[in-house]
């Protein structure tokens, strides 16, 4: 993923709209590219701040920690990976079960 691709995904990222592959590439890039990280931090603060002002302030929690969203996304990726691993194990177990039955 190039810098310009990453930068076009700031808003989808903040809205949790990236798919697994996009999210993975986005995070990998942003963790290594200081430029994109700074841009992201700026966007995040601006967008969440604007939304906070537009919304009913009492109901919406002001999110100002851009790093936290990155951490949460990474945790999500990790869980997704574990889940995929479990699915494969389950599939293997089913196959073995079928073979035993035959
Ligand atoms: Zn970059």
Q: How confident is the model at residue 50 (pLDDT cuts 50, 70, 90)?
A: confident
Per-residue model confidence (pLDDT) at position 8? 95
What spacing in Å lies between the alpha carbon of 11 and ligand 1's midpoint? 15
What spacing in Å lies between the alpha carbon of 28 and ligand 1's midpoint? 10
What spacing in Å lies between the alpha carbon of 50 and ligand 1's midpoint? 24
Gap between the Cα atoms of 6 and 4, Å rounded: 5
pLDDT at 82 over 90: no
User: Who contacts 26 (Cβ-Cβ below 8 Å, separation ≥6)?
Assistant: 1, 6, 9, 13, 18
- Digit-coded pLDDT (tens) for 24-43: 999 999 999 999 999 999 99
pTM of the model: 0.70
Which tokens belong to 62? 């002001």
What spacing in Å lies between the alpha carbon of 18 and ligand 1's midpoint? 17
DSSP 45-96: HHHHHHHHHHS-TTTSPP---HHHHHHHHHHHHHHHHHHHHHHHHHHHHHHH
């Amino acid at each position: 993923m190039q810098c310009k691709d990453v930068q076009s995904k700031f808003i989808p990222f903040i809205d949790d709209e990236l798919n697994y592959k996009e999210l993975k590439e986005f995070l990998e890039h942003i963790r290594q590219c200081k430029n994109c990280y700074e841009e992201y931090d700026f966007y995040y603060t601006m967008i969440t701040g604007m939304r906070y002002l537009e919304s009913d302030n009492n109901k919406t929690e002001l999110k100002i920690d851009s790093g936290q969203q990155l951490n949460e996304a990474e945790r999500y990726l990790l869980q997704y990976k574990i889940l995929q691993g479990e699915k494969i194990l389950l599939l293997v177990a089913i196959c073995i079960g079928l073979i035993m039955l035959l």
